């Protein structure tokens, strides 16, 4: 048992292990929008990938996209998911913000 780790201290309480945040891979500067229905019981979502911004900025962009499209969505694993097929509205908004946008997939 030479591999013991401290999990609790009476001075500080529970000690959480050091978590290393995995950095998202850097994109090629092109934002891609794809439509996906897999695993969602036939309901389609638009997935926006390739935005090289921090997590807080990503949440702000997602909030703006939800307002523009008038629908729900979320941020998962560095990607933005917008409910419904709103690719044209998303593309127009992101191009207005100065991003290079491509529609990926079918």
- pLDDT of 67 > 90? The answer is yes
Identify the pLDDT of residue 24.
Answer: 56
| The pair of three-digit structure tokens given for residue 46, joined into one six-digit string | 């638009």
Determine the Cα–Cα distance for residues 38 and 44; give it in Å rounded to an integer: 8
Determine the Cα–Cα distance for residues 31 and 22; give it in Å rounded to an integer: 21
Question: Would you kindly state where each structural domain of the chain is located, as residue ranges?
Answer: 22-104
Q: What is the three-class DSSP state of 45? A: strand
CATH architecture group of domain 22-104: 2-Layer Sandwich (3.30)
Q: Identify the burial level of 44 via C-beta atoms within 10 angstroms of its C-beta, where 0-12 means exposed, 13-18 middle and 19 or more buried.
A: middle
Identify the pLDDT of residue 59.
Answer: 92
- pLDDT tens per residue, range 10-43: 777 777 776 655 555 566 778 899 988 887 787 8
Identify the pLDDT of residue 64.
Answer: 92
Distance of CA 29 to CAs 26, 54, 84, 89, Å?
8, 15, 25, 20
Identify the pLDDT of residue 77.
Answer: 86
- pLDDT of 54 > 80? The answer is yes
């Amino acid at each position: 048992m030479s591999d013991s780790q401290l999990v609790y201290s009476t001075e500080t309480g529970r000690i959480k292990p050091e978590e290393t945040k995995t950095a998202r891979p850097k994109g090629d500067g092109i934002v891609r929008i794809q439509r996906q229905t897999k695993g969602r019981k036939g309901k389609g979502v638009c997935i926006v990938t390739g935005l090289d911004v921090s997590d807080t900025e990503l949440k702000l962009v997602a909030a703006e996209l939800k307002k523009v499209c008038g629908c729900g969505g979320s941020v998962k694993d560095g990607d933005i998911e917008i409910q419904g097929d709103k690719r044209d509205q998303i593309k127009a908004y992101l191009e207005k913000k100065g991003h290079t946008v491509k529609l990926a997939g079918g």
